Copies of this chain bind each other. A is one copy, B any other.
Amino acid sequence: MGEFDLIARYFTRPARRVALGVGDDCALLAPAPGMQLAVSSDMLIEGRHFFADVDPEALGHKALAVNLSDLAACGARPLAFTLALALPAADERWLQGFAGGLLALADAHQCELIGGDTTAGPLTICITIFGEVPAGDTLRRSGAQPGDDLWVSGAPGQARLALGALRGEWQLPAGVLAQLRPRLERPTPRVALGLQLRGLASSALDVSDGLLGDLGHILRASGVGACVDVDAASAPLRVSTAPWSTQMSALTQDDWLHCALAGGDDYELLFTAPPARRAQVQAAAQRSATAVTRIGAITAERGLRLVDGQGAPVAGRFASFDHFAPAR
């Protein structure tokens, strides 16, 4: 099957929001008046971002999900995306699965595939996504203020906990793995929450490289520090696996904290907001049907302090979390 057949067969859909669809040299996009276009690109490579034997349908989902998550982090509403795809061979079953997972998530967010490129090569997926956001209303990394609460969505660490079981780092009860594996393989981009946080959060990003590492980006961009309650940050993960807790006693406190604080791939939103807006943040979470947890506060003093639920400093064995080094 040639390149043009491939495009036609699996990726051509009627144009909706755009003036030109797949087929011309360019696609055309027009954001609504008063709106800016938010743009993000991600590249996923076999062996680095996913395993060769990954379910193609899950891969299609995840490839778009990580890009939708970037829009969520900016408070942008998804509009459209381009897909550049390098494939070792035109495997129809693979393509059908991949396109199915990709386009199902795209449809769920009314996000239109408007163009791209296919070529032979090592399996590589590059998506550039477009969203719109009212001019001046974008969530950024640079707005955190001393005294702001630090919040995170969902249960950070779920993807890492599942990954550790798949890698053989630890064992998980089948029920836990069945629940958490989708968090790793089919993450839910927090688009609805991002939209609700417009004008409410003082800063935001999505956690792809680990909570503390990505928090470092906010702290540097905002010129502030933070104090993180590691018990609060790991509580959602513990709660989500509580029914199986007696079967998970082999997991150490370090394991739990490592998953929650340094595990990537959850694509949760990490954001800050003034304490006076706690009720509004909770209301925004409810409207977007996304749990949020307050896990610390922004400080004027630079650097990152880790404390436990009683406010006591967490011992030096977690110093490695303090480097702000990306996990990959």
A residues engaging B (CB < 8 A)? Answer: 2-4, 19-20, 23-31, 33, 35-43, 45, 47-49, 70-71, 73-74, 76, 80, 82-86, 114-117, 119-122, 124, 126, 128, 130-131, 133, 135, 138, 140-142, 205-206, 221, 325-326, 328
Contacts and interface: CB of A to CB of B under 8 A. Distances in A.
Given A37-B37, A82-B128, A126-B41, A26 B114 contact: no
B36 A30 contact: yes
Contacts of A328: 3
A77 to B, nearest CB: 12
A325 B126 contact: no
A140 B24 contact: yes
Copies in the complex: 2
Nearest to A45: B121
Given A41-B115, A120-B48, A126-B43, A29 B19 contact: no
When A and B form their complex, which 3 residue pairs have the shortest distance between CB atoms, in order from nearest?
A: A126-B126, A128-B128, A45-B121
B138 A206 contact: no
30 contacts: A2-B326, A3-B328, A23-B221, A24-B138, A24-B205, A25-B73, A25-B205, A26-B39, A26-B71, A26-B74, A27-B40, A28-B36, A28-B37, A30-B135, A31-B31, A31-B37, A37-B37, A39-B82, A40-B115, A41-B84, A41-B116, A41-B128, A43-B119, A43-B126, A45-B119, A48-B119, A48-B120, A121-B122, A122-B124, A124-B126
Contacts of A2: 325-326
Contacts of A42: 84, 117
A268 to B, nearest CB: 13
A36 B19 CA distance: 9
A146 B73 CA distance: 50
A48 B115 CA distance: 21
B326 A43 contact: no
Contacts of A31: 30-31, 37
Contacts of A43: 84-86, 117, 119, 121, 124, 126
A53 B207 CA distance: 37
Contacts of A37: 28-31, 37
A128 B40 CA distance: 10
Contact of A45 (B27, B86, B115, B141): B86
A20 B36 CA distance: 11
B39 A29 contact: yes
Given A138-B19, A221-B23, A3 B326 contact: yes
A63 B132 CA distance: 27
A126 B74 contact: no
Nearest to A40: B26
A206 B142 CA distance: 41
A36 to B, nearest CB: 5
